[in-house]
Chain A
Amino acid sequence: MVELKHFINGISHPTVILTVILFIYPFIFPPTNWFEKWNKRLKFDFFWTKKGLITVYTFFIGFMIIGVQDENAKHILLKPDNVPIVGLLFLVHFFLWLSMNQGMKNDKLIDAGEKPNEYHDPKDKVLVWPDLVYIELIALVLLMAFLLVWSIGLEAPLEQPANPTNSPNPAKAPWYFLGLQEMLVYFDPWLAGVVFPTLMIIGLMAIPYIDINREVSGFYSFKHRRIAASIFIFGWLWLWINLIMVGTFLRGPNWNFFGPFEYWDLHKLEVLTNINLSDLIYIKLLGVGLPENILLREIFGFIVFFGYFLIMPPLLAKTVFKKLHQSMGNFKYGVFIFLVLSMVALPIKMYLRWIFNLKYIIAIPEFFLNI
């Protein structure tokens, strides 16, 4: 048991678990034919059957049962702040399963030359009055009863009066902002707190204008919308939900990483000394001091930054996204690739921090511009 806990602590370090998920995810949500072949061969579509749901839930519940018997894990799992996130784990998986399950069923029907389920006037269509309104009323009453029991059963996590000089350690944002707080570890506040959230909202609004595949509108399908679906699932599941989980369960005092069974040691020492790209190149590689001129100092950062956003789009248009570029046209492809590159910039920056201890690619604290 102790070894198992040590093992779980080891693999739950984000550098390990996020990498594992990053590599497995295209096989679970295949964006191309090649990945789909492997998806079939590895039988990953098992996850979206009823047995798959039961298996995953058994795994979750088993983990919770083992967890509450351990003092450290119990502290994180049953903390009133964190209870909604434990619920989120089950709910998110259920709705993911529901949509993927229906999508897989429809994909099979379409492959067999039939029309998807939604065309056959399924039984789940009901009259608004009285059926739907009654269902809504019952759902409302049940939810109210549930919230009442919850609010009585779990005491609100009230703390001492706010004191600006005494931040709680760790100081965690409300759970729905923990993804943002995790981004803030890797980016300057105006990027992680202003630019990225804006881009997320704009990106979500832009989806219907970028993905205008009318053939599969009106019913669940994964295969016929696989690029859109897999990109969205990457941003939503890997970046948003995952970072909330990491922020909730794996961040401890001094914002260090802690495994779920690890004691929250206030003095855990993690070597995080990190440096800017300009320091890395001028001091470590070239062995000269930083130039006085800011532009000259950050020239490599600008090259990397503009190279990423100006050279990558045409490069990808010629190679990986060739078909997509042809079907979309220049403008739509431009918007699409800008949003995708911005999204992928987050994991890239995370890995740069983890591997090279890189703090900022462009660091101009004089003008509050740090990227």
Chain B
Amino acid sequence: MTEEEKKEQENQESPEEKPEEEAAGAEQKLEAKEDKKHLPASVGEGSISDEMPRRSFFSWLTVAWLAFAAATGGFFAMTVRFLFPNVLFEPPQSFKIGFPDDYQIGQVNIRWKKLHAIWVVRTSEYIYALSTVCPHLGCTPNWLDNERKFKCPCHGSGFRKSGVNFEGPAPRPLERFKITLADDGQILVDKSKLFQYEKGQWDDPESFLKV
């Protein structure tokens, strides 16, 4: 018990002592600096100039900072460069998907889902390309042929064949891509151009192909 009491006392006393110790430490440091002037002859004044002039200190500081900034900037540039790879193993944004007659009327074609992430839908009048990305949170919905709807397995959003959302949390319809007829009669889909229903872009003649 006595030992514990002693320890407690020490603990209690220590906070009061601390400032004094720090002050003492600071004084010692000052003394140490002054001591430098009284160094032994071999390293003392005359042999090496131990005090750097203020001007040259700042010029060295500038050089050091510039070098540091250059190195950091170089690393940063390399990191940014890393984001743009030399080769992209991605299918092209613009591609041909065969002739209009390859697609049956009233059917949703899921052939290009894996490669190009599009569904090709043909109605009695039009052909259009739907994006396979759910506008709610980006999952890939499935086409349910019996129910005649797209259904997202993540949160239950449902879309009609036209891509219009009708159930679940999806706030807007699926996006459509630019679709035109190429010179050789094949269908050309350009995924770099989007058509969004809520912005009234589905009336754009490029968003569908009249057959």
Chain A positions near chain B (C-beta within 8 angstroms):
163-171, 181, 184-189, 193, 253-256, 266-267, 269, 272-274, 359-360, 363, 365-366, 368, 370
Q: Complex formed: what's the CA distance from A144 to B113 in Å?
A: 45
Known contacts A267-B146, A273-B166; is-contact A167 B154 (Cβ 8 Å):
yes
B136 within 8 A of A: yes
Partner of B144, one of A163, A189, A267: A267
Which residues of A are found within 8 Å of B168, using beta-carbon distances?
A: 185, 255, 272, 274
Interface of A is mostly: loop
> Is B123 interfacial (CB 8 A cutoff)?
no
A165–B171 touching, CB < 8 Å: no
Distance, CA A255 to CA B142, complexed state (A): 12
B198 within 8 A of A: yes
17 A–B contact pairs at CB < 8 A? A163-B114, A165-B117, A165-B132, A166-B114, A166-B140, A167-B152, A168-B153, A171-B153, A184-B136, A184-B169, A185-B155, A185-B156, A185-B169, A188-B169, A254-B151, A267-B147, A269-B147
In the complex, which residues of chain B have a beta carbon less than 8 angstroms from the beta carbon of A267? 144, 146-147
Chain B residue contacts of A370, Cβ below 8 A = 171
Contact of B169 among A165, A169, A170, A187 (CB under 8 A): A187
Q: Is the CB of B140 within 8 A of A165?
A: yes
In the complex formed, the residue of A with least CB distance to B112 is A165
Contacts of A363 in B (CB 8 A): 171
Contact A184 B137 (CB under 8 A): yes
The secondary structure that dominates the B interface is loop
In the bound assembly, the distance between CA atoms of A30 and B137 in angstroms comes to 39
Q: With A and B bound together, what is the CA distance between A359 and B173 in angstroms?
A: 14
* B113:A273 contact, CB within 8 angstroms: no
A184 vs B168: C-alpha distance in the bound complex, in angstroms?
10
Give chain A residues whose Cβ lies under 8 Å from the Cβ of B151: 254
B198-A366 in contact (CB<8A): yes
In this complex, the member of B153, B158, B198 whose beta carbon has the largest number of chain A beta carbons within 10 angstroms is B153
Residues of chain A within 8 A (CB-CB) of B142 are: 167, 169, 254
Q: Is B43 an interface residue (CB 8 A)?
A: no
